[in-house]
Amino acid sequence: MKRIVILAAALAGILGAADPQTFTGVITDTMCGKAHGMLAGQPDDQCVAMCVKGSSSQYALYDGKSVLKLSDQKTPARFAAQRVKVTGTLNEKTQTIKVSSIEPEPGAK
């Protein structure tokens, strides 16, 4: 019994010990991903906002290679189509970042 408790505690420590990482990229949505063309003639930030508002699309981070969903769906709204730094842990299986913080990337426009 003691062995099971020790093994369970060790496993929980290993699984729950994922250190936060920093991801940089552009706030987008899961429908458009890296290219915004759904609303012709609209700026990218408005496209992102409309896609998230009007469908099952979610805020995401495009890091130059992948579109990673964001667990926080409120904070990214003010950073739509902007380069940001996201701190959190990535669930590889779901390609979702559990967000700790989002801030503008220094020097980004």
Entry pTM: 0.78
Alpha helices by DSSP H, listed for 16-85, are 44-54
Whether residue 76 lies inside any domain: the answer is yes
For each successive 10 residues of the chain (109 residues), what is the average pLDDT?
Answer: 58 64 96 78 88 89 96 96 97 97 84
Whether residue 66 lies inside any domain: the answer is yes
Whether residue 27 lies inside any domain: the answer is yes
Contact 97, 88 (CB under 8 A): yes
Query: Which is nearest to 46 in space by CA: 32, 56, 63, 67?
Result: 32
Whether residue 5 lies inside any domain: the answer is no
Domain that holds residue 24: 20-104
Whether residue 3 lies inside any domain: the answer is no
Number of domains in the chain: 1
Whether residue 99 lies inside any domain: the answer is yes
Q: Residue 54 has what pLDDT?
A: 76
